[in-house]
Amino acid sequence: MSDTLKSKNSFAGKLNDPTMIFAVMLIIIVMMLIIPIPSFLLDFLMVISVLSGIMVVLTVAYAKSATDFSIFPTLLLVTTILRLSINVSSTRLILTQGADFDGKMVRAFGQFVVGSSDSTGMVVGIIIFIILVIVQFLVITKGATRVSEVAARFSLDKMPNKFMAIDMEVQNGVITEADAIIKRQLVDEESAFYGSMDGASKFVQGDVVVGILITIVNIVGGFSVGMVLRNEPFEMALQNYISLTIGDGLVGQIPSLLISFGTGLIVTRAQANDAVGSVLWKQMTRQHRVFTISGVALLVLAFLPGFPHVILSLLGAAMIFGGMQIKKAETTASSEIAKSKDKTDKDEKKGPEDVTSLLKIDPLTLHIGYELIPLVNGVDNTGILNSISGIRRSLAMEMGLIVPPIRIQDNIRLNPNEYVFKIKGQEIGKGIIRPGCMMAMGESLEALDGEKTVEPAFGLDAYWIKEDLRAQAENLGYTVVDPPTIISTHLQELLRTHSFEILDREATNELLENVKKDYPVIVNDVLNEAKFSKSQIQKILQSLLIEGVSIRDFPTILETLSEYNPQTPIYELVEIVRQSLKRGICNKYKTDEKELFVIRINPKIENEIYKNMSTERDGEPVLRLNPDVLNKIQIAIRDKVQDMYKEGYPPVIVTQPQIRRAVWEICQYINKNIAVLSTRELVNDLDITLFGQVMIEEKVPVST
């Protein structure tokens, strides 16, 4: 009993399933092409066809956006196949039954719609049919097809800008990530809709052509069957088959015309968030002069002889009255705006203007010229935005730095192909991009056909080459990168170099709160027990970042600080922290064989530097070397560093702890990528290899 009830409920549920009903309808439509159907079922399907055309037009009229009726391209195909199946079935019945055909919809359109069943009615019916075909084929269908093509192309072209706007809204906190996902889906749906409409509009165009061919076949076939097979006289065959063919053609063309009209309506509507009728009324009633002048024109026509005076007078008066009402509404709205403005002016006079919103500065901003806008999203999300996400993850893993969101905005003041990166509103780097080109880097670049340039991140010699030369350049051994990679690499290097500027007090506090979740005791020891201030911790972290030392191991940094007095000078605390992070520092420069190549400072030079160091009031050491001696030391360091670069090793200098900071400051004027380590920062399990020693040649005194 229960099994029987369950099966009944399951069957009832399937009957209520729209997908199942739609699938059954598709099978029936296809079977109609080969299986004869009775005339009453043909009438039912013809009514369904006319009803579908009416419902499509009304749905389009009430749709607020194209995506509200995204199933329309599919429905367009289904209704086209339905009409063709009906045409085939009606043709079969007309040719087989002849005068005995009792299809009420066909005969109604062939007699009642035309007006009479005599020869005059047939001629009128043929003319109406031809007019419908011409209007649909040459006006509506052709125009809708062209608009669909243009709308599809424009929709695809605007996708990158729309995605960029959505991402900017997320970065600026205007919308949440969940809202952004919905907006991106709508953009994808809109683009897919117009792309589908571009192809689906061809169905309507083919439907019109097939309708004409079926009509011709019906007339020729009707005369052949009636006069040859049934031996009917010419007049009877003409009366029967022409009338039925006209009715069949009209009953097929009218729903086709409605759906074609709906196609043109939905692809020509602008991006308005309201129904077509509402938008039409709002835009047509903005100017009262349109109604007033139109009404006056109708009244002038009403006084001319031969025109319908009553109709023109009534309609003209109605238009003038409507214009007066619109003008009255405009006057009321203007007075309200004036009152509001007067109130605002009075409020402004009461106090100074609030300009606090103008003081807001974005932490990180990437300004781009308008030609670089397509690079923001790129192809398949391979643009700048996707690279920025990777950069933030990379710097978090490598440097332990939380990079704030980077705002991307177009700037008309820049050159079309220029970009500028700013930190807190101040420019720190910029570059030029050649859209449609690739950057090739390597030796003997003259072999390439391109424009000479300089790679912006590291200052390497490079060439701009055409995209079609990429494979050739790579086969020759050159490194080839695309514009988004160029910008993102430059951006990452700028962020790494200026990481200490990004680490403000808010970022420091965020790091402390993050560590406090897993290491509450360490944070309490540093802030509460040792009584280090957050400003001291910020300065220490900034000093580490300036020299490229990762602060990812923040717990070790805090644990080291907890063992020392907060009154200790900052530079001494930095040196102590560096020693606790020595493994991470050495691992950054070691080879795969755990070998560290270093340059040693000659003890005489170290002694000279140490003797010329003094201490400021705040405890910071200051180097006061003779300029000539300083220049000689820098030249000696530069020569050794260049030798290391030629051998493919990163430049690392090892010196005594007391002068490590002073040596680093000397090296900053040579190359900012030189790492200076103290002897206490070397790890025992690494193989330290002496690459060379920095020495100054002493001149032999001339004897007299």
**CATH code assigned at 391:** 3.40.30.60
**What is the pLDDT, as a whole number, of residue 5?**
43
In terms of C-beta density within 10 A (0-12 exposed, 13-18 middle, 19 or more buried), how is residue 99 classed? middle
- 427-451 per-position pLDDT tens digit: 999 999 988 888 988 777 666 778 8
pLDDT bracket for residue 7 (50, 70, 90): very low
**Based on the domain organization, do 316 and 404 belong to the same domain?**
no
Which CATH number is 694's domain given? 3.40.50.12790
- The mean pLDDT value for 314-340 works out to 76
**Based on the domain organization, do 220 and 314 belong to the same domain?**
no
**Based on the domain organization, do 566 and 599 belong to the same domain?**
no
Which of 546, 580, 614 is at the close of a domain? 580
The token duo for 527 is: 């802030």
- The mean pLDDT value for 39-67 works out to 81
The reply to whether 338 falls in a domain is no
**Based on the domain organization, do 77 and 52 belong to the same domain?**
yes
Percent of the chain with pLDDT strictly greater than 90: 14
The token duo for 625 is: 């070397």
**Based on the domain organization, do 569 and 602 belong to the same domain?**
no
Report the alpha-carbon distance of residue 660 to residue 640 in Å, rounded: 18
**Based on the domain organization, do 611 and 690 belong to the same domain?**
yes
**Based on the domain organization, do 242 and 371 belong to the same domain?**
no
**Based on the domain organization, do 229 and 134 belong to the same domain?**
yes
**What is the pLDDT, as a whole number, of residue 224?**
67
The reply to whether 485 falls in a domain is no
Which CATH number is 536's domain given? 1.10.8.540
The reply to whether 497 falls in a domain is no
Give the residue among 68, 67, 64, 65 at the shortest CA–CA distance from 278: 64
The reply to whether 316 falls in a domain is yes
pLDDT of 3 higher than 60: no
The reply to whether 400 falls in a domain is yes
pLDDT bracket for residue 599 (50, 70, 90): very high
- The mean pLDDT value for 537-550 works out to 92
Q: Is 16 helix (H, G, I), strand (E, B) or coil?
A: coil
608: containing domain: 586-704
**φ/ψ (deg, to 5) at 385:** -60, -45
**What is the pLDDT, as a whole number, of residue 11?**
46
The reply to whether 30 falls in a domain is no
**What is the pLDDT, as a whole number, of residue 110?**
67
**Based on the domain organization, do 301 and 265 belong to the same domain?**
no
Question: Which amino acid is present at 396?
Answer: A
Q: Is the pTM above the cut of 0.75?
A: no
**What is the pLDDT, as a whole number, of residue 113?**
56
CA separation (Å) from 303 to 34, 311, 312, 322?
A: 63, 11, 9, 21
**Based on the domain organization, do 97 and 207 belong to the same domain?**
yes
Report the alpha-carbon distance of residue 490 to residue 446 in Å, rounded: 24
How many other β-carbons are positioned within 10 Å of the β-carbon of residue 141?
26
**Based on the domain organization, do 66 and 207 belong to the same domain?**
yes
**Based on the domain organization, do 256 and 121 belong to the same domain?**
yes
Total structural domains within the chain: 5
The reply to whether 344 falls in a domain is no
**What is the pLDDT, as a whole number, of residue 652?**
93
**What is the pLDDT, as a whole number, of residue 421?**
93
